[in-house]
Structure 1
Amino acid sequence: MYFLLNMLGVLVVMSIIYLCSPNKKNLKWKAIITLLVVELLITWFMLSTTIGSWVINQIASFFTWLISCANDGISFVFPSVMANEQIDFFFSALMPIIFIITFFDILSYFGIMTWIIDKVGWMISKISGLPKLESFFSIQMMFLGNTEALAVLRQQLTVIGNQRLLTFGIMSMSSISGSIIGAYLSMVPAAYVFAAIPLNCLNALLIASMLNPVNVSKEEDIVYVPTKEERKDFFSTISDSMLVGVKMVIVIMAMVIGYVALTAGVNGILSFFIDGLTVQKIFSILFSPFAFLLGLSGSDAMYVAQLMGIKLATNEFVALLDLKGQLDHLAPHTVAVAVTFLTSFANFSTVGMIYGTFNSILDEEKSKIIGKNVWKLLLSGMAVSLLSAMIVGLFVW
């Protein structure tokens, strides 16, 4: 029965996104079905084979090395902070952005990143039937994270239209950052974290293609290559990259602080009228039907719905810390779907991070496309998390 509920959940989520699509006639069903089949195969490969786990671990090791390099730089300036066992979010997740942007800008300077975007994007777009740049962005988010991936592609984003920019904003709701994978792994089983990462990226591509269908001509489906006149010398390029990174860190920090504080303020107002009422509790009630569609029993469904509310109103760290203390008391299926759902940045503060990133790498006018479509970003983030959790749930009982 619960397995059938899990399968029904996939259909329900897809149906809701279809109903919310503004342009149902232009949906590419072949691409959507193809992506779903690919996701099922990937999930089976990662959760059911030894080779799959080894491949994912090797990829993760590379990004762990990147973060360690970034931490060396941070430790030189803030040695006492980095020596602590518990490092603040600002230093563990935001500060590494400076090095990651610089590293990939160096690859772009020598044409390596442009080549990868073109080839990998071509391969994914052939499978999915969707544009190359969007296809590669979905893969790039797998370990870089939304803000870092957007920054790396900032030259590409400056030459595309607002409608396609919205696609990147929608997709950005469903990533994580390589800099915090270690933090996730210290709290919950690694297998489900690594299963969620590629599923979220492919589901982000799938959901974005439904919520914001865009027809891209062959002439537009290209990778932007700066002309010789536009290119600066090497040291000017990396210096500019570092300054872009610093600016982004400050903007994102301000957005995160503001949204978390706003949630606390709203909770204070709600508790004034009804004692103990919070935004998190409201969301947990709203999400309880979807928790049952994850194939969960009564008590587990309400607990996971509560985790959903915590994640959306605050962030996934708060929810994962709560889940960490309950792992020994939950069924394997409950742990699998809960961890997979929580492994992404889909919450209110992420909308602020995306808006801040657009504002810092593009301009205020282009950033308005995010402000006008906040509901699409939130809907996409939750739908991707649910869909990924439901697919993983099919393989773990």
Structure 2
Amino acid sequence: MKYIIAIIGLLVVLGLAYVASNNRKNIKVKPIILMVIIQIILASLLLNTKFGLVVIKGFADVFSKILEYAGSGVSFVFGGLANKGEMSFFLNVLLPIIFISVLIGIFQYLKILPLIMKGIGLLLSKVNGMGKLESYNAVASAMVGQSEVFITVKKQLSKLPPNRLYTLCASAMSTVSMSIVGAYMTMIQPRYVVTALVINLFGGFIISSIINPYTVKEEEDILIIRDEEKHSFFEMLGEYILDGFKVAIIVGAMLIGFVALMAGINDVFHIIFHISFQDILGYIFAPFAIIMGVPVSEAVQAGGIMATKLVTNEFVAMMDLTKIQGHFSPRTLGIISVFLVSFANFSSIGIIAGAVKALNEKQGNTVAKFGLKLLYGATLVSVLSAVIVSIVL
């Protein structure tokens, strides 16, 4: 039965992408089928084999150690601030982002990260039928973040037509930055974080190649990556420390605002309609939860979590999931966890449009115009990844 539901889910997701396509005649079917098969194979390897267990355990152990090191710095500055025995979300989940940002900076400085991004990007371009720039950008988004990635391709930004610009922005919204992966792992199981990171990469290409299909000419497919201005090692450290701190503060501020707003809206809806706003959203999103493989009995609650991610952000949704995870079966928990690991939410439209506008005002305005279509596509990527995982769980 789960395979029938998964096939229906795949057809619905691809059908919804097809409906929004701006050039249906140019859709290339073979790369799409190939990438769906690759997603299924990778999800199965990561979640159902000893090899996958070793990879995920290694990944989780590395981030566990990083969070431990980060905790030393946080404890030195803020030790004793949190109530004993209580976990402070800001101190234990957000502030470690600073140390992870430093590590990313060091790998960037040593030219290790750009080499990895170029290599994987070129390999992906052979599979997805898209340009080298698009493939590089998808990998780079996962490494350096959805706004910072555009700095690395600044030289080509002004020359990009709207269709190629859409694909770059869609990749940035469909993935998550390595700097906050550690934070996710404190809230949901690392195996689902790692799996989502890998299959979202292909999911972004699948949905973009349906919604926004095009062919890149060989002479236009030149990958020019902007090198960062050369700073001394310690200047670089200072810059990445501050960047990490800004991310932690911004996420913290958004959480305060969104969690408070959601609590207020829920109360108002309770008073007027005797049902919370999240429950209403849950009923709206329940059909999508069902095609993702969630049992009907759990679909409304799962739909509420999905909707929360869309209207607020993934952190708020993950926090809500940790509170009610006991109500879900392990399979449902895995499906919803994978769905949550992406930047597909309304606030990301402003973040990406602002990042591009800071580098090129005209292109930033172009991004703002197709902002809702970006969110539509990125949400379909999350649903697709969840459907793929439902096949192997």
Instruction: Give TM-score scaled by structure 1 length.
Output: 0.80
Q: How big is the shift at 1:166?
A: 2.7
Aligned to 1:6: 6
- The answer as to whether partners of 1:35 and 1:202 remain within 8 angstroms in 2 is yes
Structure 1 residue 370 and structure 2 residue 367: aligned? yes
Residue identity in the other structure for 2:10: V
Shift of 1:123: 1.0
Give unpaired runs (5+ residues) of structure 2. none
Structure 1 residues 190, 103: closer, same or farther in 2, change over 3 A? closer
1:283 aligns with 2:263: no
Cα distance between partner residues in 2 of 1:259 and 1:73: 27
How far residue 302 of structure 1 moved from its aligned partner, in angstroms, is: 1.9
Change (3 A) 1:375 1:263: farther
Question: Which shifted more, 53-62 or 264-273?
Answer: 264-273
Cα deviation, residue 169, structure 1: 1.9
Q: What does residue 176 of structure 2 align with?
A: 176
User: Equivalents in 1 of 2:182, 2:250: separation in Å?
Assistant: 21
**By how many angstroms is 1:369 displaced?**
2.8
* 1:23 shift after superposition: 1.7
Conservation of the 8 A alpha-carbon contact between 2:104 and 2:144: no
**8 Å contact from structure 1 (residues 10, 387) kept in 2:** yes
AA in 2 matched with 1:146? G
Partner of 2:31: 31
> Is 1:344 aligned to residue 342 of structure 2?
yes
Deviation at 1:223, TM superposition (A): 3.0
Residue 167 in structure 1 maps to residue 164 in structure 2: no
In structure 1, the residue matched to 2:191 is 191
Give the distance between the partners of 2:284 and 2:350, measured in 1 at CA: 23
What aligned pairs does 1:310-349 form with structure 2 within 5 A after superposition? 310-349=308-347
Secondary structure in structure 2 of the residue aligned to 1:130: coil
Aligned to 2:383: 386
Q: Contact 1:3–1:394 at 8 Å: present in 2 too? A: yes
Hey, what does 2:145 align to over in structure 1?
A: 146
> Counterpart amino acid of 2:373?
K
The answer for the alignment partner of 1:118 in structure 2 is: 118
Could you tell which deviates more after superposition, 107-116 or 307-316? 107-116
2:152 matched to 1:155?
A: yes
SS of residue paired to 1:346: coil
Match of 1:218 in 2: 218
- 1:96 equivalent to 2:100? Answer no
Change in CA separation of 1:179 and 1:249 when aligned onto 2, cut-off 3 Å: closer
What is the one-letter code of the residue matched to 2:382? Answer: S
In the alignment, which residue of structure 2 is the partner of 1:21? 21
Paired amino acid for 2:352 = I
Q: Give the Cα separation in 2 of the matches to 1:278 and 1:329.
A: 18
CA distance in 1, matches of 2:47, 2:128: 23
**C-alpha distance in structure 2 between counterparts of 1:99 and 1:340, whole Å:** 22
Tell me, yes or no, if the aligned pair for 1:312 and 1:346 is still in contact at 8 Å.
Answer: yes
Deviation larger for 331-340 or 69-78: 69-78
Q: What CA distance in whole angstroms lies between the structure 2 residues aligned with 1:14 and 1:383?
A: 8
> In 2 relative to 1, CA 334–115 (structure 1 residues): closer, same or farther, beyond 3 Å?
closer
* Residues 97 and 180 in structure 2, CA contact (< 8 A), matched pair in contact too: no
- Deviation digits for residues 198-233 of structure 1 (CA, Å, limit 9, x no counterpart): 112221222223223343333333332558xx9545
Q: Does 1:309 find its partner at 2:307?
A: yes
CA displacement, residues 41-98 of structure 1 (integer Å, 9 cap, x when unaligned) = 1011111111112123334444555666666666666556699863444884477368
* Contact residue 192 and residue 340 of structure 1 kept, 8 A: yes
Q: CA deviation at 1:197?
A: 2.1
1:140-198 deviation line (CA, Å, top 9, x unaligned): 445x4733xx4155131442325333322222222234454444444444333332221
Alpha-carbon separation, structure 1, partners of 2:353 and 2:95: 16
1:172 and 1:368 map into 2 onto residues whose CA distance is: 17
Distance 1:20 1:255 in 2: 34
SS of 1:219's equivalent in the other structure is: helix
Amino acid at match of 1:378: L
CA distance in 2, matches of 1:134, 1:244: 29
My pick for the range that moved more, 232-241 or 212-221, is 232-241
Aligned partner of 1:323: which letter?
L
For 1:280, what is the secondary structure of its paired residue?
helix
Question: What residue ranges of structure 1 are gaps of 5+ in the alignment?
Answer: none
Change (3 A) 1:190 1:235: closer
SS at match of 2:153: helix
Provide the identity percentage: 31
CA–CA distance in structure 2, aligned partners of residues 270 and 218 of structure 1: 57
